[in-house]
Amino acid sequence: MSFNPLKEKGIPLEKQLRTWEDISKRRFNKYDVDCYSRTRQILMNGIEVEAWNFKHAFSRLCGAEDTLAFLAMTKKFEDSQQTTINWMKPEDQTILETTLGYEQVAVDLTAWLAQNEPDDYVKETYNFGLLEDFDHLYRYSQWAYLEHGVNPNDIVQNMTDIVIGRPTQFHHNCNIMRLRKPYDKETAEPQTKVNILTLVSAEQQTHNYYAEHGMAYGNPTIRGTYAEIKDVEEEHVNMYESLIDPTESLYEKLLLHEFTEVCNYYTCYKDEDCDMMKPVWEEFLAMEIGHLHQAAKLFTKYDGRDAEEIIGDKVVIPSHFESQKEYVQNILENEVGKRITSDKGYTTVDELPEDWVGYKIQNANSKDGAPTETTIEVIAVQKGRDLTIADEKLVRIQPKLLEESMQEDGIAPNMISVEDYKFMTDKEFEF
């Protein structure tokens, strides 16, 4: 039976006030939380931050009293939901451990979205971004081990591979070149719209988390690694948000934001096994249905259209988490050498023109070296090789992956060579 949130009974706005205790009390145990409960907690925090941010932006552009009243009240509710979810993260989960969770969200969520995306161009963009977050997971894993003695697999729990991807130093591009073609709001499916808003929210929160936490470490290479990867997350927000049709009205965007919240809570509620989190997803789903009903009324009043024309008559599933190893391995083996072009398309490293704009950015940013490359040097000095957690087959092709992603230009002076990497990865890593 399909679930039509426009027809479901939610919690009316006047019943959405919660106590301080209820808002702030929940925490998971980092030793026994399922990795995908943690990814849901990370994702839904990002979804709430985006809902709240959007409503503030809308409020600053709006003169209608009834809309302002709705936004004012629900900004408070989105904010309280955000607190409840974000504060589930326990005090003893280190910044780097949380960071591995963020990158696991990015890899497994993007892979799910790519396979459930009806628009081929959007799908190609997801596959492209996927390999970048995949490499971030690998770089941060080195530091989680070196700095805290953490086995990264305690976080990803065998669900996500940790090996080199498209090297992070090659992710830096001109942010103008990152801009992609937007979907057409009249023909795009609700699934496409919800998928993009979901991923934009996740990437934005990843960026914000790195921005707020990278300075907590004294080690200059960890700081540099956060600065470098945070910049890529900025590019990801920029890239994914550019897929959204800019001609949607603010009321249409409001409707889509509430619908995205509904769809994600619905998915979380269906998938969740954690006794502490499941009732939260259920309650927040009912709250979001309440928001959606009001947003639909405002949309009809100001845009003169029916909400169902935009969001359809059933939820979509934007965030189911399961192991995506096979899918990611396939993209890795086939697309590691892919790059973006100035005409919003894609190409491969061997086809890049000499004046490719990405080279200019990379040469400027990495003139004195890339911290994400120093990361490999540091672990190699201490352990003789890098830390990888993946099937034997994948570990064996690491030097080949590096070779296929190598560019002619834009290479940081400290970048590891394919030969050195081959030599290094012939050794065993001992924990």
CB of 228 to Fe ion, least distance (A): 11
Supply 221's token pair.
């290479």
Question: Which residue, 161 or 261, is less far from Fe ion as judged by CB?
Answer: 261
Helices (H) and strands (E) in the chain, counts: 18, 2
Question: Which residue, 52 or 421, is less far from Fe ion as judged by CB?
Answer: 52
Helices 250-271 + 278-303 axis angle, to 10:
160
CB of 194 to Fe ion, least distance (A): 14
293 contacts Fe ion (rule: CB under 5 A): no
291 contacts Fe ion (rule: CB under 5 A): yes
Question: Which residue, 18 or 422, is less far from Fe ion as judged by CB?
Answer: 18
CB of 58 to Fe ion, least distance (A): 12
Question: Which residue, 88 or 106, is less far from Fe ion as judged by CB?
Answer: 106
Question: Which residue, 254 or 361, is less far from Fe ion as judged by CB?
Answer: 254
Dist CA 88 CA 83 (whole Å): 8
236 contacts Fe ion (rule: CB under 5 A): yes
Instruction: Kindly write out the interface string for residues 133-172 of this chain, putting x where it contacts Fe ion by CB under 5 A and - elsewhere.
Output: x--x------------------------------------
State the DSSP string of 30-73. TTT--HHHHHHHHHHHHHHHHHHHHHHHHHTT---HHHHHHHHH
CB of 284 to Fe ion, least distance (A): 6
Question: Which residue, 42 or 424, is less far from Fe ion as judged by CB?
Answer: 42
Segment interacting with Fe ion (CB under 5 A) among 72-80, 111-119, 312-320, 370-378:
72-80
CB of 430 to Fe ion, least distance (A): 28
Dist CA 7 CA 24 (whole Å): 31
Alpha-helical runs (H) found in 313-405: 325-335, 357-365, 371-383, 392-396, 398-405
**b/e burial code for range 288-322 (CB count within 10 A of at least 16 → b):** bbbbbbbbbebbeebbeeebeebbbeebbbbbbbe
Instruction: Kindly write out the interface string for residues 192-211 of this chain, putting x where it contacts Fe ion by CB under 5 A and - elsewhere.
Output: -----------x--------
231 contacts Fe ion (rule: CB under 5 A): no
Partner residues linked to 340 by β-bridges: 346
Instruction: Kindly write out the interface string for residues 97-136 of this chain, putting x where it contacts Fe ion by CB under 5 A and - elsewhere.
Output: ---------x--------------------------x--x
CB of 136 to Fe ion, least distance (A): 4
Dist CA 153 CA 157 (whole Å): 5
State the DSSP string of 214-264. GGG---HHHHHHHHHHHHHHHHHHHHHHTTS-TTS-HHHHHHHHHHHHHHH
Supply 18's token pair.
């919660």
Supply 259's token pair.
């619908």
CB 216, CB 249: distance < 8 Å: no
Segment interacting with Fe ion (CB under 5 A) among 31-39, 80-88, 354-362, 399-407:
80-88
Burial of 180 (0-12, 13-18, 19+ CB in 10 A): buried
Rule CB under 5 A: choose which of 80, 81, 195, 324 binds Fe ion.
81
Question: Which residue, 166 or 385, is less far from Fe ion as judged by CB?
Answer: 166
Question: Which residue, 78 or 231, is less far from Fe ion as judged by CB?
Answer: 78
80 contacts Fe ion (rule: CB under 5 A): no
Supply 329's token pair.
């391995």
Dist CA 278 CA 288 (whole Å): 15
CA distances from 94 to 120, 147, 207, 216, 248 (A): 38, 10, 17, 11, 40
CB of 211 to Fe ion, least distance (A): 13
234 contacts Fe ion (rule: CB under 5 A): no
CB of 179 to Fe ion, least distance (A): 16
Question: Under rule CB under 5 A, how many of the chain's residues touch Fe ion?
Answer: 14
Q: Which residues bind Fe ion (CB under 5 A)?
A: 48, 51, 78, 81, 106, 133, 136, 203, 233, 236, 258, 261, 288, 291
